[in-house]
A and B are shown apart, each in its own frame.
Chain A
Amino acid sequence: RKEVEQDPGPFNVPEGATVAFNCTYSNSASQSFFWYRQDCRKEPKLLMSVYSSGNEDGRFTAQLNRASQYISLLIRDSKLSDSATYLCVVRGDSGNTPLVFGKGTRLSVIA
């Protein structure tokens, strides 16, 4: 089983739609969780960290379910500018363990 697995996509949605991405991780001792966004031919950039209590940033909501080892990202009222690849990222259980990336889910928002 891969350490971090994501919905493969692509997701093609109309403007204004709500879309959800899911991610599962295999290491139950993982401590830190993030969603990154990557635009074509650019470097990944942090979208938001994911906290145990769930967190929201404008149209974006991230949830963590430790029991199921599951992370989600919800995007409401999709904009054309949300078109990108979304990467689920997990860090293991100690400071010296590296960040592990999922393969990413591609989102295309269509006018």
Chain B
Amino acid sequence: DAGITQSPRHKVTETGTPVTLRCHQTENHRYMYWYRQDPGHGLRLIHYSYGVKDTDKGEVSDGYSVSRSKTEDFLLTLESATSSQTSVYFCAISELGEAFFGQGTRLTVV
């Protein structure tokens, strides 16, 4: 399995609090992605990175920010969590071929 880990794996947080999810890779892949998955919507891209400090928005980026200060880490921050951000979050890494996914973070905003 590709060396990609997400932390935390599960989190419950209160509305209005900031939350940071971490994705860490040991594969030295250039591209990193954050997706969210919700019933009826499939996987939707939040943000992605194509290099250190190079990031771009996906289709559902509102309310989220990202940072990539080094190749191996890609952080996703919910500035002020809302109930609509309750979801399963997946990180993925790739070079120019297929992507490999982390095990996901289940986030519940109450």
List chain A positions with a Cβ less than 8 A from chain B.
Answer: 32, 34, 42-46, 49, 87, 89, 95-96, 98-104
Other than the given A98-B33, A101-B35, A104-B42, 9 more pairs (CB < 8 A) read A43-B90, A43-B104, A44-B43, A87-B42, A89-B99, A95-B96, A96-B56, A99-B94, A100-B45
Question: A97–B98 Cα gap in the complex (Å)?
Answer: 13
Docked complex Cα distance between A72 and B98 (Å): 17
Chain A residues with CB under 8 A of B92:
99
Chain A contacts for B90, CB-based, 8 A: 43-44
Closest A residue to B106 using CB positions: A41
Check A103–B42 contact: CB distance below 8 A: yes
B10 to chain A, nearest CB (A): 12
Q: How far is the CA of A99 from the CA of B48 in the complex (A)?
A: 10
User: Contact size class for B?
Assistant: 20 to 34
A99 & B97 in contact (Cβ 8 Å cutoff): no
Among B48, B58, B98, B102, the residue within 8 A (CB) of A34 is: B98
What chain A residues lie within 8 Å of B64 (beta carbons)?
Answer: none
Residue among A32, A42, A95, A102 making CB contact with B42, cutoff 8 Å:
A102
Contact of A98 among B48, B97, B98, B104 (CB under 8 A): B48
Inter-chain contact A43/B101, CB cutoff 8 Å = yes
Interface string of B75-94 (1 = CB under 8 A from A): 00000000000000010101
Contacting residues of chain B (17-44) with chain A, CB-CB under 8 angstroms: 31, 33, 35, 40-43
The interface centre, meaning the residue of B90, B96, B98, B104 with most chain A CB atoms within 10 A of its CB, is: B98
- Judging by beta carbons under 8 Å apart, are B42 and A98 in contact? no
CA gap between A101 and B98 in the complex, in Å: 12
CA A43 – CA B5 in complex, angstroms?
12
The chain A residue with its CB closest to the CB of B45 is A98
Could you tell me the distance between the alpha carbons of A49 and B98 in the complex, rounded to whole angstroms? 8
9 residue pairs, one from A and one from B, having the closest CB atoms? A103-B42, A43-B101, A101-B43, A96-B50, A98-B48, A46-B98, A99-B99, A44-B101, A104-B42
